[in-house]
Structure 1
Amino acid sequence: MERKHSSPMAPTFMVSAPGKVIVFGEHAAVYDKPAIAAAISLRSYLLVTTLSKSRRTVQLNFRDIGLDHTWEIDTLPWDVFHQPSKKRFYYSTVDSLDPQFLEAIMPHAEAVSRHLPEKQRKIHIKSATAFLYLFLSLGSSKSPGFIYTLRSTIPIGAGLGSSASVCVCLSTALLLQIRALAGPHPDQPADQAEMQIEHINRWAFVGELCIHGDPSGIDNTVSAGGKAVMFQRNASGPPSVIRLTKFPKLPLLLVDTQQERSTAVQVEKVKKLKTNFPEITEMILDGIGKLATSALGLISSADFFANSDALGHLGTFISINHGFLVSLGVSHPRLERIRELVDYANIGWTKLTGAGGGGCAITLFRTDIEDQTTQELEQKFTAEGFKTYETILGADGVGVLLPAVFRSGDGKAAEEIDQEKFENADGVQGINELVGVGARENREGWEFWTRDVSPR
């Protein structure tokens, strides 16, 4: 593949968005109890390269799932998407997919990865569907060609919001390309930043609709705005969402059990328990909801870090929440092994995150932990087949590196992102070292939209 195709009039740029974990409220949220989800510093990264005007193709290269496909721009169904009666604007609120749009793009989405096994190919088709739906909704048939290169440091299929992170990256990039976004910049008014994050969030939700069919919208909301949100389902309308913009950044150990699990199976397990033992199950679910509410009060207090007991209280809430989830029957021996090792090392407080039955666990670190203790624990996890990630809870939301150049405060020459190096960066560490948000202290470039507190 040729390199350096970018046009001088449209410099290469990069977008990044975080994954998320459920901190409090799994399963209880299904029964209209409050829950808290927070962004983590594991992120997706999207490099956008503009081709010369003579190259009329658009390429989606998602290296980490093996998806790489190129479409001819002029063969895409622009006429269907741009009918006067159906035209969507960047500020449109889209909460459902148009069947005619889906029908028009499916032949193009289904053209991907024909050589792969059906299970993997279905994942690629969903990704392609989300991309094409957004590209045709927000783009133009007269636009030049592009290469959209995606890399991710978020474990895929582990309940950490990886697809929402990708959709936030894609919607941000497309909105930037049609100049529907200004910023982000340090002096941007809070109301303007809030409005732009919501534009990004709305279109990311459209991508999530393509992938998941009936998403809650929480993953993309956390990924777009960062920090954390408290959400609660409402039987008679949309969920209540409180954006926790003062959520503290806290060190977190994420451990992936590498154990496959089914969200539907775990949800059905709790449903059956509630049918057989309604009063007891309701007490457990109510307790989980009250933990989320108590955590909100703790986090919203005057100064979380000024209160020497605050971290310990939050950690205790995490441990209690895990106990409730065990009582609901949604843990797993490998999740309990993680908790056992953490408790023995006495480094913090642990709970499963997500549906359970496998997936991941999170550990909130105590403040007085020595690096050697953490390293020894992580070695034990690796020896037993777990995968560990040291990350930050309450991370920043969507960010932009425009142009895709890093500048160092030490006076050295600017460092342009090389597409070939980006594609071939080796794993999480390689991606972080090359383009990671906050990976190098003296590297300048990434800018983030910062939203104001706004109950919804």
Structure 2
Amino acid sequence: MTQGIKRALISAPGKVILFGEHAVVHKKLAVAASLGLRTYLHLEENDTGKCRLHLPDVDIDLTWALSDLTLDVDRVTLETGHPMDIPEEIKKQFEKWMGVTQREAQRQAVLAFLYLFFVLKTDKPTSFGFTISTRSTLPVGAGLGSSASFATCISTALLVLFHHIPVGFAQSEKRESHLDTVNRYAYKAEQVIHGNPSGLDNSVCTFGGALSFRRGERFVPLEGFQSLQLLLTNTKVPRSTSALVAGVTAKKEKYPQVIDPILESIDNISLRCCEAFKRSNKDSLAEELEDLVDMNHCLLHALGVSHGSLEKVRSVTGEYGVKTKLTGAGGGGCALSIIRDDVNVETTNLVAQKLAAEGFDCYRTSLGGSGVNAVVLDNSLDQAWLMSADRETLEMHAT
């Protein structure tokens, strides 16, 4: 880090798909936005000569002597190709350093860190050392961009640590250039984790706000975008994204005259969403988005990607006039509900309580929060606060 800066707090948002799930696979438009739920990373530079990676959300706490972390390959060679196409002997060395990481989420997180470490590291004195600790308010594996949020934080931390970008990059004159750099390496980390991601999740986590996107084209910031209040419900029902995508493709091949118009309608819903924000009429925006939410879900249900748990969420929220749709792959996972300004806190709390009684987890959050950020921490703060502070405290230090 910059001389004199020993500790920093980095944070990045999660993401949610507003409209266009599944249709986007077939080159239709989709819209995604950042969430108020974030991943937080505490970075501390020290003189131990060791690197500690502490990821309590996935039960990882590993320490390496930096003098042991060496590879017989230069960073350009490692960075140029696809992260998973690295030579077999390097993969074996990574596996050796990963230790006891039995769960896939553990392996992916450590592998992404090690890859970025070797791509971004520069020569430092042997006394140099650092600790990286993370905590997230995002549920893991729920389709809310937890891996991309983590990838964005890790890439930012290592870019700052090895002096590729300043710790105050988000407020600098070269902000956009620095964000592009963060996004590029966050995408590399996402490739380590997912193989062939679209780049959407890390882009939303890096830049924040909302983006429209079509497969094979550049992501476009949503003109006139306004923040909205959401209730996110995690049904905690596991699902296979690849199986659900394959199921829609099979239906399209079997019933093209039926499925193609459904996909086209979803495309038009995403287009209508973009137009609604451009008009910037806040009074009518929520009402229009509610209509689009309702229609989009029904079309996704027709594609066969809803689930009994998601329909239960819609039933409970519908009793209180709150519109809900599945978000992401469907088949379980998460649902999003638009909370209008005229829906009072008591009503929202009651809805959340009823959903919790069904065994679901609820998160009241905002849509379209800021992107990745980094701030210098007051040295009087004990590192342990990261593990114990509530969300409001974390957000206060991360902004």
- Return the TM-score normalized by structure 1: 0.82
Aligned mate of 1:56, from 49, 68, 71: 49
Cα distance in 2, alignment partners of residues 319 and 251 from structure 1: 17
Give the helix-richer structure, 1 or 2: 2
- Counterpart of 1:356? 330
Is the alpha carbon distance of 1:252 and 1:95 closer, same or farther for their aligned partners in structure 2, counting shifts above 3 Å? Answer: farther
> 3-state SS of the aligned residue for 1:48?
strand
- Cα drift, residue 109 of structure 1: 3.8
Distance 1:75 1:105 in 2: 16
1:263 paired residue among 236, 241, 261? 241
Identity %: 35
The answer to which structure, 1 or 2, has the higher relative contact order (CA under 8 A, 6+ apart) is 2
Return 5+ residue gaps in structure 1 as ranges: 1-5, 89-93, 406-414, 439-444, 448-456
Taking a change above 3 Å as real, the CA distance of residues 392 and 107 of structure 1, as seen in their structure-2 partners, is same
Higher mean alpha-carbon deviation, 362-371 vs 381-390, is at: 362-371
327 and 69 in structure 1: CA distance in 2 versus 1, 3 angstrom threshold: same
Give deviations 1:38-85, integer Å, cap 9, x for gaps: 000110001001121xx2211111011101111221122244134xx6
Q: Give the counterpart of 1:322 among 271, 290, 297.
A: 297
Does 2:199 align with 1:180? no
Q: From the superposition, tell whether residues 7 and 287 of structure 1 become closer, same or farther in structure 2 (CA, over 3 Å).
A: closer
For residues 206 and 57 of structure 2, the distance between their equivalents in structure 1, rounded to whole angstroms, comes to 21
Instruction: Flag the 1:331–1:61 CA change in 2: closer, same or farther, 3 A.
Output: same
Query: 2: CA distance between counterparts of 1:314 and 1:397?
Result: 23
* Change over 3 Å in CA distance of 1:417–1:349 after alignment to 2: farther
Choose from 139, 154, 158 the match for 2:121: 139
Q: By how many angstroms is 1:16 displaced?
A: 0.1
AA matched with 1:112: M
Task: Mark the runs of 5 or more structure 2 residues left unpaired by the alignment.
Answer: none
Aligned to 1:64, the other structure's residue is in SS state helix
2:278 to 300, 304, 310: 300
Matched letter for residue 303 of structure 2: L
Cα distance, 1:349 vs. partner? Answer: 1.7
Q: CA deviation at 1:246?
A: 3.9
RMSD of aligned alpha carbons: 2.2
Residue matched to 1:47: 42
Which residue of the partner structure matches residue 98 of structure 2?
112
Contact 1:227/1:246 (8 A) holds in 2 = no
CA shift in 2, pair 1:30/1:62, >3 Å: same
1:349/1:417 CA distance change after superposition, 3 Å: farther
1:87–1:233 Cα change, 3 Å:
closer
CA displacement, residues 15-47 of structure 1 (integer Å, 9 cap, x when unaligned): 000000100000000000010010001100010
Tell me: CA distance 1:212–1:304, structure 2 relative to 1, closer, same or farther (3 Å).
Answer: same
- Evaluate the alpha carbon distance shift between residue 198 and residue 366 of structure 1 in structure 2; reply closer, same or farther with a 3 A threshold: same
- The answer as to 2:10 corresponding to 1:15 is yes
Write the distance in 1 (CA, Å) between the matches of 2:284 and 2:302.
Answer: 27
Match of 2:147 in 1: 163
Distance (whole Å) between structure 2 residues aligned to residue 185 and residue 196 of structure 1: 8
Name the structure 2 match of 1:345.
320
Deviation of 1:7 after TM superposition, in Å, equals 12
User: Are the aligned partners of 1:109 and 1:132 in contact in 2 as well (CA < 8 Å)?
Assistant: no
- 1:102-124 Cα offsets, whole Å, 9 max, x none, are 7425433444352x6x4x1x322
The answer as to whether partners of 1:256 and 1:360 remain within 8 angstroms in 2 is yes
Native 8 Å contact 1:62 1:149 kept in 2: yes
**Structure 1 residues 35 and 110, CA gap change in structure 2 (3 angstroms):** farther
Matches within 5 A, 1:207-246: 207-234=189-216, 239-244=217-222, 246=224
Measure the CA separation in 1 of the matches of 2:42 and 2:84. 28
Distance 1:71-1:7 versus aligned 2 partners, 3 A rule = farther
Counterpart CA distance in 1 for 2:380 and 2:239 is 41
Q: Which of 287, 295, 298 is the matching residue for 1:312?
A: 287
After superposition, the C-alpha distances for 1:244-276 in whole angstroms (9 at most, x for unaligned) are 264211110000001111101111111111111
Distance 2:78 2:199 in 1: 23
**CA contact under 8 A between 1:33 and 1:232: conserved in structure 2?**
yes
Aligned positions, number: 396
Kept in 2: contact 1:153–1:431 (CA 8 A)? no
What is the distance in 2 between the residues matched to 1:47 and 1:230?
A: 31
2:98 aligned counterpart, secondary structure: coil
Q: Which residue in the other structure is 1:450 paired with?
A: none
- Rate the CA distance shift 1:98–1:156 in 2: closer, same or farther, 3 A: closer
Partner of residue 412, structure 1: none
Partner of 1:206: 188
User: What secondary structure, in the 3-state scheme, does the structure 2 residue paired with 1:345 have?
Assistant: coil
Tell me the SS of whatever aligns to 1:18: strand
**Match for residue 26 of structure 1 among 21, 25, 28:** 21
Specify the SS of the correspondent of 1:44.
Answer: strand
* Residues in 2 aligned to 1:342 and 1:41: alpha-carbon distance in whole angstroms: 21
